[in-house]
Amino acid sequence: MKPTGISLLNLLLAAALLSACAQNTPQIADNIDTAKEETPAYQPAANENFTRIGAATTAAGKDRAAILAMQGEYKVDFDFKETVVLQPGYQRRPPKHSGAFEAVLVVEDSPERIVLQHILVVGGDQVVKHWRQDWMFEASERFEFVAEQTWALKPLAAGKRAGTWTQCVYEVSDAPRYCGTGTWNHRYGVSTWTSDRSWRPLPRREYTTRDDYNALNVENRHTVTAQGWTHEQDNTKTVRAGSATQETLVREFGFNNYRRIDGYDFSPAYRYWEKTAAYWADVRRAWSERFARGKGVVLKTAIDGMPIIEATFSHAASIEKGEQAPTREDVDEVLNRWVAAKLD
Residues of the chain with pLDDT > 90: what percent? Answer: 82
User: pTM for this one?
Assistant: 0.90
Burial class (CB in 10 A: 0-12, 13-18, 19+), 192: buried
pLDDT band for position 125 (cuts 50, 70, 90): confident
Rounded average pLDDT over 127-135? 97
Residue 311 has a pLDDT of 97
Q: What average pLDDT score do residues 53-79 get? A: 97
Alpha-carbon dihedral sign for residues 161, 117, 213, 233: negative
Judged by average pLDDT, the poorest of 56-70, 84-98, 200-214, 244-258 is 200-214
* Interior angle at CA 69, CA 67 and CA 74, nearest 5: 120
Residue 30 above 60 pLDDT?
no
Give me the pLDDT at residue 172, please.
96
Does pLDDT of 2 surpass 50? no
The answer to whether residue 11 scores a pLDDT higher than 80 is: no
Distance between CA atoms of 282 and 327, rounded to whole angstroms?
Answer: 9
